[in-house]
Structure 1
Amino acid sequence: MQLSEITFETGRPVDGYGPNFFRVAGEVFEGKLAILPGSCGPWAGFDDPSPFVDAAKDLDVVFVGTGAQIAHIPPNFRATLEGAGIGVEIMNSPTACRTYNILLSEGRRIGLALIPV
């Protein structure tokens, strides 16, 4: 039985989240998380834009989930990603996860930087 009308041809959708964790394609990750085309794993946070810059050729935009509430991100993090040709969209983490899943189902070139709720 299919519970969702959304199908994912590529990528790993976010299945759930909670206090200090995210579940991505059935796998649970604790703490901050970077989801990129072809990879998913722990992320050091705003001081480390390298996972996204290294994947710049495969990304058009990175959604940044700032936790339970929307918050400002460090200007240098945004500038580094934009300097690599990557768009940056900031929202709270639940909204970032939902938006990511929808665009992933459309086959878009997206990444996700997540701070837990």
Structure 2
Amino acid sequence: MRMNEISYDNSAPVDGYGAGFFRIGGKRYDGAVVASASGVQAWGGYVDTETLTALADALDVLFVGTGAEIAHLPAEFRTLLEQAGIGVESMASPAACRTYNVLLSEGRRVAVALIPV
């Protein structure tokens, strides 16, 4: 088996998560968060599109973690992000964390908005 070292450059991967929190880059964040190459910040959930659209020029795709289970995104939320030029993919938060980490390690322009499990 061949092992490859993963480099995240200056970005912080999601290290773990639990009931109501995420650990990103070794630091614990309670509640919903957004992580991208520009850092980690609190996120107000589906009503907080401004935090996400501010990242539009710095990313190609946004993964939205919908909590413990996959759920449909509110139509208005998705529409506002797509109008800002952001590709949006929804999945359960654990899957969103994993997918974000993989693409981040590839140097891709990604962000993740996460609702706690």
> Which residue does 1:98 correspond to in 2?
98
TM-score normalised by length of structure 2: 0.93
Where does residue 57 of structure 2 map in the other structure?
57
2:30 maps to 1:24: no
Cα distance between partner residues in 1 of 2:49 and 2:38:
17
Aligned residue type for 1:108: R
Other structure's SS at 1:5 match: coil
The yes-or-no answer on 1:89 pairing with 2:89 is yes
The residue type paired with residue 28 of structure 1 is: R
* Normalised TM-score (structure 1): 0.93
Structure 1 contact 36–52 (Cα < 8 Å) conserved: no
Return the alpha-carbon distance in structure 1 between the equivalents of residues 73 and 26 of structure 2: 29
- After TM superposition, the runs of 4+ consecutive aligned structure 1 residues lying more than 3 A away are none
CA displacement 1:48-90 (0-9 Å, x = unmatched): 1111111100011100000010001111111111001110001
Give the total of aligned pairs: 115
Q: Equivalent residue for 1:5?
A: 5
User: In structure 2, the residue corresponding to 1:29 is in which secondary structure?
Assistant: strand
SS in 1 for 2:45: coil
The runs of 5 or more residues in structure 1 that have no matched partner are none
SS at match of 2:17: strand
Superposed CA RMSD in Å reads 1.4
